Amino acid sequence: MPVECTLAELARRCGGELRGDGDTHIHGVATIQRAVAGSITFLANPHYRRYLRETHASAVILAPADAGACRIPALITSNPYLLYARVAAVLTPAAPVRKGVEAGASVHPTARVSMDTWIGPGAVVEEGVVIEGGVSVGPNCVIMADVHVEEHSCLVAGVTLCHGVHVGKRALLHPGAVIGADGFGIANDDGVWLKVPQLGSVVVGDDVEIGANTTIDRGALEDTVIGNGVKLDNQIQVGHNVCIGEHTAIAGCTAIAGSATIGRRCMIAGGAGIIGHIEICDDVTVTAMTLVTHSIRKPGVYSGSMPMDAAAQWRKNSVRFRQLDELARRLATIEKKLKD
């Protein structure tokens, strides 16, 4: 249920420099084009600056560079989108967690489920499960044997936690997420594939968000690890024994092959591919549709992919592509000498 605050109260609670009438009443958030009286909007992308003079919002969150063009009360900040996120959380607080076990849910007698937990209709909680206080297990979720879910985490609906998975505090798992299915471990026996037992599990840290239909495979021997504060978008594949460092964010349709290690505070854009058994250091940004084929050991922004070719030729071209800058410099030097 939305709440109402004055602009001054929002400034006090969320930050930002108040400009204009602090008694302005705010009861919702909206885009700059569709805002109405009583709502607050934000300007973070310069492409939307042209709407600033036309907006019907009662207040706007913006950067100091845009404040001169603003005719309505405002909160001024160096990071408008971050302040908007804080304001939106104040104005639209999360609904209180329900309690109890709904009709149609199945909870094994050996499961230890806090009295403060809600188990939705159609949910299944198997033997040896531990669910701590304030957890919400939505409709049709399946929590297999020996899973542990810590305080105030939320499984929205249709989430599957396979056996032995550990989910930390305040995690948010969106519909269809599957955590702890077997990794893709197979060995070739004269053209016939033999399944390799997947004996590890998945450990999900605190304050992690996992998007709809994202899958995180259990480890082959050791655990797959998702660090504190990691944010995963929809339809991401995380292979077995992958480790993702704290506060890394990964956009939709990215595929991460087994045993890759991704550092802290990385940003991986949509549709990226990361091959197995490589390491990406802290503070790396990978742009959309990039194929990461070797370890990255220096922070920075990385891009690139190449068209398909016969594998041997592709490898040769890939090596030469990485030498293009050096070759171009050498060619320029030779041309200069010839001209002289």
**133-140 contact pairs (CB < 8 A, 24+):** 134/97, 135/97, 136/97, 136/98, 138/175
Q: Are 204 and 166 in contact (CB under 8 A)?
A: yes
Residue 200 token pair: 């590890």
Would the CA dihedral through 275, 278, 282, 284 be positive or negative? Answer: negative
Strand, coil or helix: what is 96? coil
Name the H helices within the chain: 7-14, 80-91, 311-322, 324-339
The dihedral built from the CA positions of residue 3, 8, 9 and 11, taken in this order, carries a sign that is positive
User: Catalytic: 240?
Assistant: yes
131 φ/ψ angles, rounded to the nearest 5 degrees? -125, 120
337: β partners: none
Eight-class DSSP state of 65: G
Select which of 108, 152, 240, 294 is catalytic.
240
CA torsion through residues 297, 234, 185, 171, sign? positive
Bridge partners, 232 (sequence order)? 210, 250
40 alpha-carbon distance from chain centroid = 26
Q: Please tell me the distance from the alpha carbon of residue 340 to that of residue 333, in angstroms, as a whole number.
A: 11
Catalytic machinery residues: 240
